[in-house]
Amino acid sequence: MGWESIRGQDAALDLLRRDLSSGQAAGAYLFYGPDGVGKASAARLFARALQCAGEAPPCGGCAACGKVLANAHPDLVSIAPAAGSRSIKAEEIREEVIRRAHQRPNEGMRQVFIIEDAHLLTRVSQNALLKTLEEPNAATVLILVTPNLHTLLPTIISRCRRLRFQALSRADLAAILEERLGEGGADVDKLVSLSMGRLGVAMTSDVEALSERRDGAMRFLEELSAPPGRADEVTLITLASERAGSGASGRNETILFLEMLRGLLRDILITREAPEAIDLWHTDIRAALAAMGERWGSAGLTRALERVGEAMRDVDGGNTNPSLTLETLVYSLRETVPAGV
């Protein structure tokens, strides 16, 4: 399993390969982009290449490669939230990263630290990490992985070499799914649509659950884009909160609902602006999307996308009540639908 195991991320992988072949790895990397497109796999692959003693890293055949693949390399440390916690605490950073970064590597040329859910770092943890980032040390490479940059301090972001991972194209995603699910498995085309380019989602969700989520989001958007006087805010709020669920999983469900809304709004905008140039995710409901685009207009859709993005950041940041955020969103989205259509 080498570089070819990660599809659709050529720009990011080229940069990593350049750093490897020039021997100029940065002290810190930040891999960001949507969930399920290969960021975590790329982080592990790069970590293995950094430890590899073979000719074409990661060679897959040397002792170092073997240890990384077996999760047993003493100079590769993965940092995740402690069991039962939703955040990565400062003690963990001090113990697992800072203390170790002052020591020599055990057997490799360098120590590599991977923080897969960097958005779960608390403020205090990030401030603790800054010390390591400010005093880079040639024998230490830190790889931060996150779907969203906005939870990281600007001082952290600016000190990392940043690599943006893209949503996978329809073709790339379909090829990977066919490879992994085998012939006659799930309905690959439908999965590609519903997962909106995210392999992680496509691999772990079933078509029915995703279809149901999309149907809910479509009913919401239909009602939302109804002509003035016909849309009903109460219905909208009910539709949204049904999707959001409640309890501890409520926040997560809300994010999934908002992601689906965002993906659909994106596709509606594309049917208006660039139907030939950009692939739709939801090809199977193209006509319904185009009809909504007629009523909405491009300016309104662009504003709607911004509002959904803001709501996602609020819910993701954990500082707001998800159902209140959705309620506020209903009113602010209604304003994006032009009057008198």
Interface contacts to Zn ion, rule CB under 5 A: 52, 54, 59, 62, 65
CA 191/CA 198 separation, integer angstroms: 10
Find tokens 């602010």 and name the residue.
332
Comparing CB distances to Zn ion, the nearer of 70 and 287 is 70
Collapsing DSSP states into helix, strand and coil, what is residue 39? helix
Q: Structure tokens of 108?
A: 């490799």
Question: What are residue 142's DSSP bridge partners?
Answer: 28, 113
Comparing CB distances to Zn ion, the nearer of 20 and 181 is 20
Mutual orientation of helices 207-224 and 286-296 as an angle, nearest 10°? 30
Comparing CB distances to Zn ion, the nearer of 106 and 204 is 106
CA 126/CA 34 separation, integer angstroms: 21
Comparing CB distances to Zn ion, the nearer of 62 and 305 is 62
Answer for the pair 146, 117: CB distance below 8 angstroms, yes or no.
yes
CA 238/CA 241 separation, integer angstroms: 5
Three-state SS for 295-318 is HHCHHHHHHHHHHHHHHHHHHHHC
State the nearest-atom distance from the C-beta of 126 to Zn ion, in Å.
33
HSE (side-chain half, CA atoms, 13 Å) at 70 = 10
Answer for the pair 140, 27: CB distance below 8 angstroms, yes or no.
yes
State the nearest-atom distance from the C-beta of 27 to Zn ion, in Å.
22
Q: For residue 81, what is the DSSP state?
A: P
Q: Structure tokens of 262?
A: 């965002």
Comparing CB distances to Zn ion, the nearer of 65 and 289 is 65
Amino acid in position 96:
E
State the nearest-atom distance from the C-beta of 68 to Zn ion, in Å.
8
| Residue 310: partners with Cβ closer than 8 Å, 6 or more residues away | none
State the nearest-atom distance from the C-beta of 18 to Zn ion, in Å.
19
Phi/psi at 114 (nearest 5 deg)? -115, 125
Comparing CB distances to Zn ion, the nearer of 65 and 329 is 65
State the nearest-atom distance from the C-beta of 129 to Zn ion, in Å.
28
State the nearest-atom distance from the C-beta of 263 to Zn ion, in Å.
39
State the nearest-atom distance from the C-beta of 105 to Zn ion, in Å.
16
Amino acid in position 267:
D
State the nearest-atom distance from the C-beta of 315 to Zn ion, in Å.
42
Comparing CB distances to Zn ion, the nearer of 54 and 309 is 54
Comparing CB distances to Zn ion, the nearer of 43 and 280 is 43
Q: Structure tokens of 20?
A: 């490897």
Comparing CB distances to Zn ion, the nearer of 54 and 338 is 54
State the nearest-atom distance from the C-beta of 71 to Zn ion, in Å.
15
Find tokens 């949503």 and name the residue.
167
CA 147/CA 197 separation, integer angstroms: 14
CA 87/CA 124 separation, integer angstroms: 11
